[in-house]
Amino acid sequence: MIKIEHLTRDFGGGRGIHDLSMHIPKGKIFGYIGPNGAGKTTTIKILCSLYRPNSGRAFINGLEVTPNNSKQIKKIIGYMPDNFGVYDQMSVWEYLDFFCAAYHIPVKQREQRINSVLELTSSKHMLDYQVISLSKGMTQRIGLAKTLLHDPEVLILDEPASGLDPYARIEMRETILRLRDLGKTIMLSSHILPELAGICDLIGIIEKGRLLAFGTVAEVTRKVQENLKITVMVDSDPKPARELCEQFPGTGSVDVTANEIHFIYTGPRGALPDLLLSLTGNGVRVMEFREDHADLEQVFLSVTHQKA
């Protein structure tokens, strides 16, 4: 649904994006991660036909993002920037009706369309609220409702959870998941890394305009994690299990917490089933044998070579 090929937009001094390539399938949530100035918003604005690249190409649902295709592209996408204008003296209904007119939605269809987007964003109770009275979380939900008015296939959301309290972030996350279930393709830029880990099908990590990693959270984690963190949970005295783990080639220091054995493993991944066989073959009742993946914040710091 979103295809980027060798995209470059150079602002000078290393700013911009450089030789960016990635493909985002239909119906997926893509989390775009990077520090301020990394190139996230530049990428988004090129996809929205707001910037033109110096070189490379971008496509939305097979349609190339060019000035000639700008009107068609804007029908396909819904873009919610990190800061968007609201009209304080309008009611929520008037605000959404105004944008229905901007999207050239026929008058007879507007009531149904407004009710539909308010339902999707759990905002129907705000219908008669004055925009000036809305909290930050409410404003974000109405902004998303406005973005959905023309029923776009692709949603590009720049920092949608920025400045929200925990409850409002949960509501926003649930709304985004509902939209994916409806078949929307969603590109989500955010600094709140744990939020992305829980909802994204794919992630991309960008720094200084260059894409450093792309894939599922698990794929990116496996690529950057130098050593495997293994946990073995047993239903018996952990001492024999600890001794067997310590003797296995590639095992580093072993720690025990209650009935769990934790250790770093530096050997080949394919040999781990042999350790499990050794444990069970020696009478250890293994309840769980798992690899503990690094969380998204650790992955980000590893990829960008920063220290926590």
pLDDT exceeds 70 at position 298: no
For 124, phi then psi, to 5°, come to: -65, -30
Q: Do domains 2-222 and 226-292 have the same CATH topology?
A: no
Please determine, for residue 90, whether its predicted confidence score (pLDDT) is greater than 70: yes
pLDDT of residue 225: 58
Please report which confidence band the pLDDT of residue 167 belongs to, taking 50, 70 and 90 as the band edges. confident
Domain boundaries, the chain: 2-222, 226-292
Instruction: Enter the tokens of residue 20.
Output: 């960016």
Token representation of residue 57: 């190409």
How high is the pLDDT of residue 307? 46
Q: What CATH number is given for 2-222 in this structure?
A: 3.40.50.300
Q: Write the CA distances from 143 to 37, 97, 157, integer angstroms.
A: 24, 13, 10
Helix (H) or strand (E) holding 23: strand 15-24
Instruction: Output the pLDDT for position 302.
Output: 67
Q: Taking residues 64-75, what's their average pLDDT?
A: 93
Convert the pLDDT of each residue in 123-161 to its tens digit: 999 999 998 898 888 888 999 999 999 999 999 998 888
Task: Name the token pair of 45.
Answer: 């604005």
Among 23-37, 184-198, 291-305, which stretch is predicted with the lowest mean pLDDT? 291-305
Average pLDDT, rounded, for the chain: 88
- CATH class for domain 226-292? alpha beta
Give the range among 121-125, 161-165, 190-194, 271-275 with minimum mean pLDDT. Answer: 190-194
Q: What is the pLDDT of residue 234?
A: 94
Return the pLDDT at 308.
Answer: 43
